[in-house]
Structure 1
Amino acid sequence: MSQFSEEIRKRRTFAIISHPDAGKTTLTEKLLLFGGAIHVAGAVKSNKIKKTATSDWMEIEKQRGISVATSVMGFNYGDYKINILDTPGHQDFAEDTFRTLTAVDSVIIVIDVAKGVEAQTRKLMEVCRMRKTPVIVFINKLDRDGKDPFDLLDEIEAELHIHVRPLSWPIDMGQNFKGVYNIYEQKLNLYTPSKQYVTENIEFKDIDSPELETHIGGPLAEKLRADIELIEGVYPEFDVDTYLKGDIAPVFFGSALNNFGVKEILDCFVQIAPSPRPVQAVERVIDPDEDAFSGFVFKIHANMDPNHRSCIAFVKICSGRFERNANYKHIRFGKMMRFSSPTAFMAQKKETVDEAFAGDIIGLPDTGNFKIGDSLSSGEEIHFKGLPSFSPEMFKYIENADPMKSKQLTKGIDQLMDEGVAQLFTNQFNGRKIIGTVGQLQFEVIQYRLLHEYGAQCKWEPLSLYKACWIESDNEEMLANFKKRKAQYMATDKEGRDVYLADSSYVLMMAQQDFPDIKFHFTSEF
């Protein structure tokens, strides 16, 4: 056991994931409210309230009411130190979300009671399952009419391939929503619609007591007792170890917008969710209790502060304690570096920290030293892996629309590409720059940010390509021959690696057949 064990036990680092519009950012707001981090939650969509959501601080997010970048927020709740990563739900930004999942110990999935499980949620759940990340489900928007709770649980089990166990249960929904019964704590939480502040709940231990009728009326009381009996009969008893293994997901019901059912999920979460866990590095398993510091960069964000044009590298600490001004080894460069102003976040409000522990996420000011996936340590050679860059599916030529600003454009593209939002390829045949993304929305975001953050105007030109593949081969002759034959379709990525831009699936398949000694990779991590 290290001297920091107690600090590390208090850490709870998790991501909130969902399909767009299920209420993820609203839930994050309300959790921050309980942590005392903000006093009045901002409505995310309404224009009347000028206070926009704390976690959506980029200009474009405020205008559109969607999250496009993962934001990190830390706060204290009781004895616990909680780090939330609010992720973008929009599928064009799935890659950012996949990477974020490598930096958390557990996940809360938000599901809209009316829409049920949607495609994006399924994809994210696969990543959680691959990594055996424990999951808690929050079924949101009970103040609107939606699916029957039992049907919804069946759907979650079928679609997400995970067993569920309700720990709270709704009493009616929509217009007639009366509240939830908290099975985990045996309390009755009655609903009073209130958006802007926290309301009190009634404690209720014995569900068979006739007092239940006075709170919710006869018919609902009978239905609730029957439902609870059915739940106890059908679902296994809740077991924390099964949850920690990722085999069962506790389910809570509520309405994040009306701040209902949120405290219940938080109270249960801090008790059962895992503190930081061991991380598998290439060399060995890293235990959070080790004395030596180690961590990796899982995200880079340009322009957190538009006045300073600085980038911030987000580092997840995997073991030990990080200290300000201490020397740490940047593994890829093989040299020691010190950081005089590491920061902790409350969305974009950041404060300098003197120390941070395993499980925490800190920001290091970056002047181009970091790439996603970089490892830092007290000196040991450790490489953390599993931070993929996916093969883009949409491509456009990027052209400068203002010749006076070509320097700003180059700098802007450079910094934005470091964030891993999109990838830059340079065509070796004509030297033109090509941007590849996973979705259409990213082109708009890039154009908007280049203009508003760097003062550079770009135009897009259409380009019809099927896929980008990184190529490598031990057969030098075949590689040279391939590059010659495909000269018009050869490009280099930002690291100078060879990339083949295939213009159709048929052409790619033929290339793979004609050049058997060449390996075609669809992620840049190989």
Structure 2
Amino acid sequence: MAFNMFMPRLGGIAYTGIFRRSALRGLQSGSRITSMLADRPSVAPLTIMLNRRWATSATSVEPDAADIDRLRRLRNIGISAHIDSGKTTVTERILYYTGRIKEIHEVRGRDNVGATMDWMDLEREKGITIQSAATYAEWGDTNLNIIDTPGHVDFTIEVERALRVLDGAVLVLCSVSGVQSQTITVDRQMRRYDVPRISFINKMDRAGANPQRIIEQIRNKLKIPAAALQVSIGSEDAFEGVVDILSRKAIYNRGFRGEEISYGEVPEHMVERVEAAREELISVLAEVDDEIGELFIEDKAPTTEQLHEAIRRSTIARKFTPVLLGSAIKDKGIQPLLDAVIRYLPDPTQVKNTMLDIDNNEQVLEVVPYSNQPFVGLAFKLEEGKFGQLTYIRVYQGRLEKGQFAQHVRSGKRVKISRLVRMHSNSMEDVSSVGAGEICALFGIDCASGDTFTDGRTNCSMSTMFVPDSVISLALKPKVKNSTNFSRALNRFQKEDPTFRVHVDSESKETIISGMGELHLDIYVERMRREYNVDCVTGKPQVAFREAAMHKTPFEYTHKKQTGGAGQFARVVGYIEPIDPEEHSDLPQEFINNVVGGTIPIQFLAACEKGFNDGMQQGFMIGHPIVGVRMVLEDGAAHDVDSSELAFRMATFYAFREAFRASKPRILEPVMTVDVSSPVEFQGNVLGSLNRRKGLIVNTETQEDYCAITAEVPLNNMFGYSTELRSGTQGKGEFTMEYKRHLAVPMEVQEQLILDYQNKLAEKK
């Protein structure tokens, strides 16, 4: 199993307490950070470090006051959630209330227009977000860079790379369904990149809305303290607005599209409920914030301003998530959400990012997020536009200007920035320059997703993003042979999407595409037809099986070959043993050299490791890759004349093959977490269908007249399930599927897979 190494952004601890709370206040007044920190003996090392880093810049060491003010009025946020929770609808309202768009259009495009951020025809037809889309807006005096991300698990890489470059996020949850499988995945991604979040419980007008139950799910399933900042005025059809429990004011949306905000007194019948919610908020904050905790112990009531500051501190530190309520489709609760984004989520100066100093043994350095520093930017998303490749870049440090030259760190090439734009969905606005903390896009730059650009004064690289392994494959061939557009499309899609992979099968010579699910691959096949006029024929989907050793097995193998003249001789001795690829996700296979005494000359040890890697590429039972094996080389022998790198590479390969076959290997298959939602009257049909597909029922939950069922089912048994679910629930059932882990298949299934593979090989002879 292939795993990509990644290094997440490090959360500030000492840095947070010193720089975030004290230094920024001093910076606003124009004082030097170094003089302010110099008064604190405990932070002298930090002072020296910052001086040393800033001294590398050709510009002033002291950040510009206007730049600091700009950064403090900047938020980079993403809108993320499980599918159908209302992310794009929320984003559409945000754009409308900030004045970015003049009309609101709905997601499924009933008016033949569709939501602004779902600009692809396929997105509007299917009513789902496929590609993340960036935009920018203003709320008050604060600038917002917003990325709307997909909710479907098949497009999880879009969420992954958006969260990699964002400073904060809004996690949208349905008031009925609550925390679902993709919600948990998004939560894991936010934790991976240390992204603080605000939780927004949407669809409060829906039958069965229960925000308190959703808050409990956030606490129990996502394992993060949470408390509501609002109490709903009515629910379901009677949902009218919310009460802000901090200001003790009722908030109503008036006007044609809720653009007018009116405030009122708390309804009398809600006073006790609001006070109880305020006490709950204080008790939760007391557990995560020292200042509120001290007041709580002393039985003192915190002021409203103290609560605001505590919520901001604990949210930025990722110890707490404030919860807000609303209904985007009914135009309620979005303006208070925007206020909370400004008040509680961090600006770029309050997020600690790191980069690797390539010239200094990849030493970890902190990014200094100001525009007068050497430029450092990360390309996180690529699109093929009508003007060529469009590259989305987050500027972490320094300034990027039109006409300047930037250095592509991976290739070392210098490229000219000929055009610089800000994106608004699929439209763009040309700009002359962008400063630190901004998100922009470039044209005509040849790079890959995750590449770093600098101005040449520093040779540093930002840490890359995590790319999950593909779980399903499909044979693909164009109906018209020798189509140049076929290869062009595949090359473009691979460049845009790291989870979309293409290879040619060495035996069948078929083109195989791999991805995160059936929908993922179907979308790309459809895009080839629409965008490149290439109709394709697809084969049966193939599951990404893996092979694994089960027992520790010794090996002793001698490779000899004599055909006249110099021959080949190599002997290797050692053992192989299984390792858990999930527990060792950063190193799913391992080669250890324990040879002593020089029995194998040092120049041949690298060849031994290559032989082991050769064996891992393709298994010996059904031809799928091998995972979870450690090979330990303990002894061997070499010949003065006949030994060579090739001989030891071949010896290790054959030794591994023999040991693997003797280790009682098993075939592993991907197991998926399947979440099914259907009316209660069809619960028996759903459970029976999952049991027939050898699913393990993990959880069942009844919510009003709907039931939610979670099961773990082998992916190989899930083909055609959507049709069966529709017929078994009269079209009212829905399901989502997410990769969980690889598990061993039953022995009878393994024997059948091996037999099918052997028959396939025999047919080709």
TM-score, structure 2 as length reference: 0.60
Residue aligning to 1:323? 401
* 1:39 maps to 2:102: yes
Whole-angstrom CA distance in 1 between matches of 2:493 and 2:258: 38
Q: Is the 8 A contact 1:482 1:515 kept in 2?
A: no
Distance 1:351 1:510 in 2: 52
Letter in 1 for 2:338: L
Alignment correspondent of 1:416: 493
> 3-state SS of the aligned residue for 1:334?
coil
Does the 8 A contact of 1:244 with 1:273 survive in 2? yes
Report the alpha carbon displacement of residue 225 of structure 1 after superposing the two structures with TM: 4.7
> Judging changes above 3 Å, is the alpha-carbon distance between structure 1 residues 223 and 85 closer, same or farther for their aligned structure 2 residues?
same
SS of 1:462's equivalent in the other structure is coil
Residue aligned with 1:200, SS: strand
1:479 and 2:578 matched? no
Alignment: residue pair count: 488
After superposition, give the CA deviation of every residue in 1:60-99 in whole Å (9 maximum; x if it has no partner). 0011110000100111222211100100000111122112
1:287 corresponds, among 368, 379, 384, to 368
Q: Does 1:241 align with 2:317?
A: no
Report the equivalent of 1:57: 119
- The offset of 1:45, in angstroms, is 2.5
**Alpha-carbon distance in 2 for matches of 1:169, 1:77:** 24
Counterpart contact for 2:418–2:443, Cα < 8 Å = no
Change (3 A) 1:274 1:230: closer
> Using a 3 Å threshold, how does the CA distance of structure 1 residues 268 and 486 change in structure 2: closer, same or farther?
closer
**Following TM superposition, by how much is the alpha carbon of 1:127 offset from its aligned partner in structure 2, in angstroms?**
2.0
Name the counterpart of 2:518.
Answer: 440
> Which residue number corresponds to residue 200 of structure 1?
261
Structure (1 or 2) with the greater helix fraction: 2
Residue deviations 1:337-384, cap 9 Å, x none?
A: 1111121111111111111122211111246x1101110011111111
Matched residue SS, 1:328:
strand
CA contact (8 A) 2:253 2:259 kept: no
User: Is this contact kept in 1: 2:616–2:627, CA < 8 A?
Assistant: no
Residue 302 (structure 1) aligned with residue 384 (structure 2): yes
**Residues 589 and 628 in structure 2, CA contact (< 8 A), matched pair in contact too:** no
Partners in 2 of 1:350 and 1:54 — Cα distance?
A: 13
Aligned to 1:494: none
Partner of 1:493: none
Structure 2 distance, partners of 1:187, 1:383, is 48
Aligned counterparts of 2:622 and 2:121: Cα–Cα separation in 1: 35
AA in 1 matched with 2:259 = V
Superposition pairs of residues 62-461 of structure 1, within 5 angstroms: 62-190=124-252, 196-204=257-265, 207=266, 212-213=267-268, 219-232=269-282, 236=286, 238=307, 239=310, 240-276=312-348, 277-283=351-357, 284-289=365-370, 291-303=373-385, 305=386, 308=387, 310-366=388-444, 369-379=446-456, 380-403=458-481, 406-420=483-497, 421-429=499-507, 431-461=509-539
Q: Secondary structure at the match of 2:77?
A: strand
Offset at 1:222?
A: 5.0
Which consecutive residues of structure 2, in runs of 5 or more, have no partner in the other structure?
1-61, 287-291, 293-306, 358-364, 548-587, 592-604, 633-654, 661-669, 671-765
* Displacement after TM superposition at 1:312 (Å): 1.1
Q: Counterpart of 1:296 in structure 2: which amino acid? A: L
Q: Is the 1:464–1:503 contact (alpha carbons within 8 Å) kept by the matching residues of 2? A: no
- 2-structure distance, mates of 1:100, 1:428: 35
- Output the aligned Cα RMSD: 3.0
Greater CA drift, 53-62 or 450-459:
450-459
1:202 match: secondary structure: strand
* Shift in CA distance, 231/78, structure 1 to aligned 2, threshold 3 Å: closer
The C-alpha deviation readout for 1:466-495, integer Å capped at 9, x for no partner, is 258998976424534764x688x49xxxxx
SS at match of 2:263: coil
Q: Distance in 1 between matches of 2:606 and 2:656?
A: 10
Change (3 A) 1:94 1:502: farther
Read off the aligned partner of 1:479 and give its amino acid letter.
K
Confirm whether residue 27 of structure 1 aligns to residue 90 of structure 2. Answer: yes
For the 8 Å contact 1:468–1:501, the answer to whether it is kept is: no
CA gap of 1:501–1:163, structure 2 versus 1, over 3 A, is farther
When Rg is computed on C-alpha atoms for both structures, the one with the higher figure is 2
Does the CA contact (< 8 Å) of 1:74 and 1:81 recur in 2? yes
Amino acid at match of 1:301: E
Q: Secondary structure at the match of 1:403?
A: coil
Relative distance call for 1:144 and 1:274 in structure 2 (3 A) is same
Percent of residue pairs identical = 23
Which is further off, 19-28 or 35-44? Answer: 35-44
AA paired with 2:430?
T
Q: In structure 2, what is the Cα distance between the partners aligned to 1:180 and 1:269?
A: 17
Q: Deviations over 1:485-515 (max 9, x none)?
A: 688x49xxxxxxxxx997568x545797974
CA distance in 1, matches of 2:376, 2:148: 24
Of the structure 1 ranges 387-396 and 86-95, higher mean CA displacement relative to structure 2 is found in 387-396
TM-score normalised per structure 1: 0.85
The CA distance in 1 between the partners of 2:281 and 2:72, in whole Å, is 32
User: Residues 152 and 363 (structure 1 numbering): CA distance in 2 closer, same or farther, change over 3 Å?
Assistant: same
Give me the whole-angstrom Cα distance separating, in 1, the residues matched to 2:590 and 2:444.
31
Q: Contact 1:330 / 1:337 at 8 angstroms: preserved in 2? A: yes
